[in-house]
Chains A and B, each alone.
Chain A
Amino acid sequence: GAVVSQHPSWVICKSGTSVKIECRSLDFQATTMFWYRQFPKQSLMLMATSNEGSKATYEQGVEKDKFLINHASLTLSTLTVTSAHPEDSSFYICSALQGTGNTIYFGEGSWLTVV
Chain B
Amino acid sequence: QQQVKQSPQSLIVQKGGISIINCAYENTAFDYFPWYQQFPGKGPALLIAIRPDVSEKKEGRFTISFNKSAKQFSLHIMDSQPGDSATYFCAASYPGNQFYFGTGTSLTVIP
Contacts and interface: CB of A to CB of B under 8 A. Distances in A.
A43 B43 contact: no
B36 interface: yes
Contact count band on B: 20 to 34
A102 B31 contact: yes
Interface in B70-100: 87, 89, 93-96, 98-99
Contacts of B94: 102
A100 B102 contact: no
Given A43-B103, A102-B93, A34 B44 contact: no
A107 B104 CA distance: 18
A61 interface: no
Helix, strand, loop or mixed for chain A's interface? strand
Chain A CB count within 10 A is highest, among B36, B87, B96, B106, for: B96
A106 B36 contact: yes
Interface residues of A, number: 26
Contacts of A49: 98
Contacts of B87: 41
Given A1-B46, A109-B43, A111-B41, A104 B99 contact: yes
Contacts of A41: 87, 104, 106
Interface string B12-40: 00000000000000000001101010000
Contacts of A108: 42-43
Contact of A34 (B34, B36, B99, B104): B99
Nearest to B103: A43
A42 B101 CA distance: 11
Nearest to A57: B98
A111 B40 CA distance: 12
Interface string B46-90: 100100000000000000000000000000000000000001010
Contact of B43 (A1, A101, A102, A107): A107
